[in-house]
Copies of this chain bind each other. A is one copy, B any other.
Amino acid sequence: MKHVLYGKCVKCGKTYDAVPDLTNCECGGILDIVYDYDYIRTRLTKEKLAARQDHTMWRYRELLPVEEDTPNTPLRVGWSPLYEEPRLAEQLGLKRLWVKDDGQNPTASLKDRASAMAVAKAREAGAKVIACSSTGNAASSLAGNAAAAGLKTYIFVPSRAPKGKVAQLMTFGATVISVQGSYEETFELSKQAIDRWGWYNRNAAINPYLSEGKKTVALEIMEQLSWQVPDYIAISVGDGCTIAGLWKGLKDLYAIGFIDRLPRLISAQAEGCCPINRAIAENKPWEPMEENTLADSIAVGVPRNADKALTAIRESDGIVVNVSDQEIMAAQQLLGRTCGVFGEPAGVTGAAGVKKLCEQGVIGKDDTVVSVVTGNGLKDVANAIKAAGEPISIPSDMDRLLVAFAEKGITVE
């Protein structure tokens, strides 16, 4: 990879050759992939990109840590829609607002970007098997993207994992090991098995390439905005890998001269689980927290990518905002009704944060904002049911319908 220099530890600065199965630094720190931007500038122009017919994350190959001859992964990951939402902008009092619906990925979450990258790197490594431990979107995206590429997956989930997610994994042909114990115990068994059998490791805590996949969401946002930089990009934060990837993509574009300034990040977490935002707000090292939120995909009390995430928020002069579960579910309704976008609770937490910051007057009528929805509401129908309320229930009788409308105060147009 001529355009990649090395992997560099975000803690101690030690560098490593960017081999396909690169893991953490010997000091325990997570690695960051470092590029030769001068070289990339000679290979990629805006015009070249604009002419490309490939509308997936792989249109940005010059900025991705893969060999030239590594095949694109089969599923159509990325190039999710970016919707401008003038009515919602007006409601919130913003100058302009866009919603990036990353729930429109093949397995219905942004995690497909990381898993497609894992599949590409596993192929480079000559691996036939990929493994991870996860209860949610990382697992299903890995299972789906690997199945399409003809790779086997072993996925370790804690026994509390929702049945629906396990069913999705098994439909994709993963060998699913349900571990009777906590997530930590699940992770531990997966680690032993990965060490024993030498499976390729798809784990954002270990694998530095995953956030390189995730950064494509930033590349797309900027290309879809014709390289006009918004004031803010808002996203939900759990483990920290996603916001780190978002920031990496933006910095890449700045480094190669595709954008002339950087937006500020809005890091939205759930009130009941916000170790990263708390560290920023109190300007202290992060500390573990309990996981008290219904937004399961960001209920991460011990974030593994906290270092990268904290750096991203600080470098961008970012804003942190915590929202209650009630505010999250209100945002789900708001996006559904106003934009026709159905996000899972964790997926709409960024939007909930934007709404709150508007109400607090932190951002407002002079600001332009992109809000990323990270996962599809169909992933978690149970919570949507709770939030959506009950329909009108009547017999098939017009008089009863009129009464019901009157009782509900519905004026029919």
**Residue interface bits A52-78, CB-to-B below 8 A is 1, else 0:** 000100000000000000000011100
Enumerate chain B residues within 8 angstroms of A167, measured Cβ to Cβ. 381, 384-385, 387-388
Q: How far is the CB of A302 from chain B (nearest CB, A)?
A: 17
Docked-complex contact A193 and B398, CB < 8 angstroms: yes
Which segment, of A104-112, A244-252, A316-324, A351-359, faces chain B? A104-112
A104-B104, A173-B337, A396-B188 known; A148 and B178 CB under 8 Å?
A: no
Enumerate chain B residues within 8 angstroms of A342, measured Cβ to Cβ. 107, 144, 168, 171-172
Cα–Cα, bound, A286→B176 (Å): 45
A:381-413 near B, CB below 8 Å: 381, 384-385, 387-389, 391-398, 401, 404, 410, 412-413
A:93-112 near B, CB below 8 Å: 101, 104, 106-108
Docked-complex contact A179 and B55, CB < 8 angstroms: no
Docked-complex contact A177 and B391, CB < 8 angstroms: yes
Check if A361 is an interface residue, CB within 8 A of chain B: no
Q: How far is the CB of A201 from chain B (nearest CB, A)?
A: 15
Task: Report the nearest B residue to A193, measured CB to CB.
Answer: B401
Enumerate chain B residues within 8 angstroms of A185, measured Cβ to Cβ. 395-396
A197-B412, A342-B144, A401-B193 known; A171 and B332 CB under 8 Å?
A: yes
Check if A87 is an interface residue, CB within 8 A of chain B: yes
Enumerate chain B residues within 8 angstroms of A148, measured Cβ to Cβ. 83, 339-341
Check if A128 is an interface residue, CB within 8 A of chain B: yes
Q: How far is the CB of A74 from chain B (nearest CB, A)?
A: 6
Enumerate chain B residues within 8 angstroms of A387, measured Cβ to Cβ. 167, 171
Docked-complex contact A340 and B147, CB < 8 angstroms: yes
Enumerate chain B residues within 8 angstroms of A397, measured Cβ to Cβ. 189
Q: 9 nearest interchain CB pairs?
A: A148-B340, A173-B337, A176-B391, A171-B336, A170-B388, A185-B396, A76-B81, A378-B378, A164-B381
Q: What are 20 pairs between A and B in contact, CB < 8 Å?
A: A75-B83, A101-B106, A104-B104, A104-B106, A129-B413, A145-B340, A147-B338, A164-B384, A166-B385, A168-B381, A171-B336, A171-B342, A173-B338, A176-B392, A177-B392, A178-B394, A179-B396, A192-B398, A193-B398, A376-B378
20 further A-B contacts with Cβ under 8 Å, apart from A171-B387, A173-B337, A177-B394, are A75-B83, A83-B148, A108-B376, A143-B340, A144-B342, A148-B339, A164-B384, A166-B388, A167-B387, A167-B388, A171-B337, A171-B342, A178-B392, A178-B394, A179-B394, A180-B393, A188-B396, A189-B401, A197-B413, A376-B378
